[in-house]
Structure 1
Amino acid sequence: MNIEVLLVSAFTQNGKGGNPAGVVLQADGLTNEQKLYIAKAVGFSETAFVSKDDEVDFNVSFFTTTEEVDFCGYATLAAFSVMFQQGIITEGEYKQRTKAGVLKVSVNSTEVIMEQCLPTRIEQLNARDVSDAIGIESSILESTHLPIEIISTGLPDIIIPVPKGYLDSIVLDEAKATACCKKHGAVGFHVFELNEEGDTYTASCRNFAPLVGIHEESATGSASGALACYLAEHVKLNCNSYVFEQGRAMGCSSLIKARVELSNSMITKVVVSGTATMQGSIEIPV
């Protein structure tokens, strides 16, 4: 049989840029082996598979070209955007079951808003642990006076601050990055530089996850939620709403919004939002 895969760019700006995701609607009956085969054939960083669920609105699974992962923010955005555009869902709040847990997704005519898991802070690393992998000397990384920390709001990412002007100079050593992630139980590196107050973007970011078959991607929803939690704790800004740019070095800039809510200095809610644009569809024989 042929499976239709919708091709969607998530976290676009005025319909441009973003990160391409595959979306398979009505994925009931597909085995994990078939899903992985489809994800490999599509060749994007992530493909989302939407199925029925007996208790919540949808069951959504996520596959890279090498394996299934617990959660993917930008593929969630892509899936719910196309369901709204095709009239499968209307404006409102929905629940999706993922391997990271049951998460809320709100949809309106302008954006999709995804609730993520509350942050789990797993470990702090030394600059020496990551410096060789990203090609920036440890002393330069230490000059930010900010920690390198593994945080998960669905997937564990290593959050790495770099000084302004160093982000685009990163040359990733995939073998060293993969070894570091394996050693510390992380999916990838989420590297950021803070922008000046008053800029359009709070921070500019790059994300590398060669451990799961992704050299670099131009928008990462789960890591953006983790970065928002990191900034709320370590960088005192005027608000807890952030706008992130990602993909600039790839020539495919994305715009990602993230927000945290706090009570007594504790994070009580993490949401990431953005827009998506349909690019077409293909059929994969399975």
Structure 2
Amino acid sequence: MELPIVTVDAFTDEPFGGNPAGICLLPGELSDEGMQLIAAELNLSETSFLEKIADQEYSLRWFTPEREVDLCGHATLASAFLLYTEELADTEKDLIFHTRSGKLIGSLEGEEVKLDFPLIPTESGTHPYFSNDFFGQKVISGARLARNWILELEHHRAVEYVQPDYNILSLHSEEGIIITSEGDGEYDFWSRYFAPNLGIREDPVTGFAHCALVDFWHKKTDRHSFNAYQASKRGGNMRLQKMGDRVFIFGKAVKMFEGMLNINI
């Protein structure tokens, strides 16, 4: 079987920035084991598997190198970008993705892809291990969300400079930990996301995390719109709007690579 494989850098307008996602356009059904093997081979934070089910509608699943996940923003944005720019979808119409997190909608607005994602509620709390300190940086507040934590640090430079011990981090987290702080003037807040238990030491730019960060920062500021920066080594940015229990995520992307994968699985 030959499968087309594409990689796209999401949440950036420059090559080698943002978060790279693998995209596999399926001509038909592929086993879960086959998808997991491909994701492990590509070894990107997430690989999307797309299967067309109707005009402008696709089944969409996401796999890390180690497991399937329920929600992924950057690989969804990359998928929508690819479908629109390769003229596989009508740019004047919405794309509908059927996923484990329900129906997600993508659209093209100028040079940006807009995603309609679910808001992830957060609940104020104190992490049982990282209550006051996160690898040398002071923790000033925390919040819990499903299988993840948000830790607020004092300054955006603390977010940028912190160097986690991933063995310790994996012992004291379920999926991962998001660190965040107020921004630098250009951006409203900064963040980073570490998920060693998903096979991702640090995710370069994370749409999923921002669905929770919007709720976290809305509760602190009462604002509904944010410009956000994720301060990984690659770096990336997005615009965010809270609309009730939904989050609109706006971002750009760059196509990097395409080829064919020859497999017998």
Give the TM-score normalised by the residue count of structure 1: 0.83
Q: 1:50 to 1:133 in 2, by over 3 A?
A: farther
Q: Which range moves more in the overlay, 268-277 or 220-229?
A: 268-277
How far apart are 1:130 and its partner, in Å? 2.3
Pick aligned residue for 1:207 from 189, 193, 210? 193
Unmatched tracts of structure 2, length 5 or more: none
For the structure 1 residues 285 and 94, does the alpha-carbon distance in structure 2 shift closer, same or farther, using more than 3 Å as the test? same
1:256 aligns with 2:233: no
Q: Does 1:170 pair with 2:162?
A: yes
Question: Displacement of 1:212 after TM fit?
Answer: 0.6
Partner of 1:141: 139
Inter-CA distance 102–45: structure 2 relative to 1 (3 Å threshold): same
Equivalent runs, 1:112-191 vs 2, <5 Å: 112-121=113-122, 123-130=123-130, 134-136=134-136, 140-142=138-140, 146=141, 148-151=142-145, 156-164=147-155, 165-182=157-174, 187-191=175-179
Query: Please, which moves more after superposition, 50-59 or 219-228?
Result: 50-59
Distance (whole Å) between structure 1 residues aligned to residue 13 and residue 132 of structure 2: 33
Distance 1:37 1:234, change over 3 A: same
Cα distance in 2 for residues equivalent to 1:56 and 1:84: 10
Partner of 1:264: none
Q: Map 1:188-267 to 2 at 5 A.
A: 188-196=176-184, 199-236=185-222, 239-248=223-232, 250=233, 252-261=234-243, 267=244
Deviation of the 1:275 alpha carbon: 0.8
TM-score (norm 2): 0.90
- CA distance in 2 between counterparts of 1:285 and 1:269 reads 39
Q: 1:240 is matched by which residue type in structure 2?
A: H
1:277 aligned onto 2:254: yes
Higher fraction of strand: 2
Secondary structure of the structure 2 residue equivalent to 1:114: strand
Structure 2 CA distance, aligned partners of 1:133 and 1:34?
41
The residue matched to 2:53 in structure 1 has which SS? coil
Q: Is the 8 A contact 1:7 1:282 kept in 2?
A: no
1:268 paired residue among 245, 256, 260: 245
Conserved in 1, the CA contact under 8 Å of 2:114 and 2:250?
yes
Distance 2:109 2:55 in 1: 23
Q: Deviations over 1:157-215 (max 9, x none)?
A: 31111011311232222233223323xxxx2111112124xx22111211111111000
Residue identity in the other structure for 2:161? S
Output the CA distance in 1 between the equivalents of 2:27 and 2:79: 12
Question: Which has the larger helix fraction?
Answer: 1
Q: Identity rate of aligned residues, in percent?
A: 24
One-letter identity of the residue aligned with 2:169: A
Q: 1:43 to 1:90 in 2, by over 3 A?
A: same
The aligned amino acid for 1:102 is: K
Q: Which residue of 2 aligns with 1:30?
A: 30
* 1:232 counterpart SS class: helix
2:68 maps to which residue? 68
TM-aligned CA distance change 1:124 to 1:59, over 3 Å: same
Q: CA RMSD in A?
A: 2.2
- 1:228 partner letter: V
1:58-101 deviation digits (Å, cap 9, x = unpaired): 11000000011011000000001011111011222222111111
Kept in 2: contact 1:27–1:49 (CA 8 A): no
